[in-house]
Amino acid sequence: MTLRRPPADPAELTKFPVRSIADAYPYARIHAEAHEPEWFCACGDHRFDPPPGARELFGTCYLAGHPVGAFIEKFADLGIVTRERVDTHRLAHLQIPATRLADVTDRSALRWGVTGELGAGGDYPGAQAWAERLFQAGFGGIWYTAKHDPRGDLHSIALFGKPGFHQEAFVSSWSEPIGDELVADVADRFDIQVLPAAAL
C-alpha cells in the first residue's frame, strides 16, 4: 500500500490541521553517546527526512513527547535489548521554540487523503514527499503518532530545521544517562525487557 501523494501546490495545505506547541515542554530524544542530539537529518533514511532534491533545504530532528516514546522508537525493532546497548546511548531533553506543526493525527487530515499509514507505514518516499510539501507550506514540523505504540497514546514530532547540527534551534537542551527508572517504565508499559549487563 502506498500513500496518497500531497498536493503539488503547497498553498492547498494552508487549512491543514495545526498543532501549536509552547516552548516550555521538554521533548525527549535518545541518541548515541558519540553524537549530539540537536541534529537535523537530511540523509533520506528516515520517515520525514527531505526527499532527493530537497536535502539542502531542510533537515528533520525526531523527538518524542515522552521518554518512553523515545525509548521504544529507538530500541523496539531490535527484539532483544541489552543493557550494554542502552548504555551506549543517552536521553536528551530538548525544549523547542513555539512552533506550528502539521497535525497528521487530526481526523480532518483525511480530507487530504492522510491516514495513519503516514506515521506508521513503510512508504518512506511518500512520507518524505509530505514532509517536503508541509515544509514548503510553512509548517515547522509534523505531529504524528509513535509507530511503535499500538495503542496510539504516545506522539512524536518531526521538527524541521537547517540540515546538520544546530543547537541554537532549541530553547534549551541537556542529556543524561538512560536510568533504571525509564527502563522499568518501558518494561511495565510495553513488556520490553532490557537484559542485564553480563557479569565480569
Tens of pLDDT along 117-127?
Answer: 999 999 999 99
pLDDT at 47: 97
CB 141 within 8 A of CB 169: no
pLDDT at 200: 57
CB 91 within 8 A of CB 178: yes
Hey, where are the domains in the chain? 10-195
Residues of the chain falling short of pLDDT 70: 1, 198-200
pLDDT at 79: 74
pTM: 0.94
Tens of pLDDT along 63-93?
Answer: 999 999 999 999 998 778 999 999 999 999 9
pLDDT at 16: 98
